[in-house]
């Protein structure tokens, strides 16, 4: 079996201007754990994961100020 036979080819991605809360809500609604982050040309520049979200929530609990308006770009 080849990878292209089982991979997802219609990939949902995010851009750096998405807000943290929007991305978390989207991941929760779609029950996904990773989202590729792309630039204005659609080139992959990173991945945002559920672990990234958990780390950020953990930072909030210990006092790092993460606002609901924080953009993903500010977190990578």
Query: Residue 16 has which token pair?
Result: 């750096």
User: What is the distance between the alpha carbons of residues 26 and 31, in angstroms, rounded to a whole number?
Assistant: 8
Residue 18's pLDDT is what? 92
**What's the structural domain count of the chain?**
1
Query: Residue 39 maps to which CATH number?
Result: 3.10.580.10
Please say whether the beta carbons of 75 and 20 come within 8 A: yes
Tens digits of residue pLDDT in 10-67: 889 999 999 988 999 999 999 999 999 999 999 999 999 999 988 887 776 666 665 5
Residue 38's pLDDT is what? 96
75 CB neighbour count, 10 Å cutoff: 16
Residue 23's pLDDT is what? 94
24 CB neighbour count, 10 Å cutoff: 17
Residue 36's pLDDT is what? 96
In sequence order, which ranges of the chain are alpha helices (DSSP H)?
20-30, 50-61
Assigned domain for 70 exists: no
Residue 68's pLDDT is what? 55
Assigned domain for 2 exists: no
Please tell me the pTM assigned to this model: 0.70
């Amino acid at each position: 079996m080849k990878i292209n036979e089982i991979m997802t080819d219609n990939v949902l991605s995010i851009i750096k201007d998405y807000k943290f809360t929007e991305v978390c809500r989207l991941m929760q609604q779609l029950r996904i754990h990773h989202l590729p982050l792309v630039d204005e040309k659609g080139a992959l520049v990173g991945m945002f994961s559920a672990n990234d979200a958990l780390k950020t929530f953990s930072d909030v609990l210990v006092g790092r100020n993460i606002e609901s308006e924080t953009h993903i770009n500010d977190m990578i």
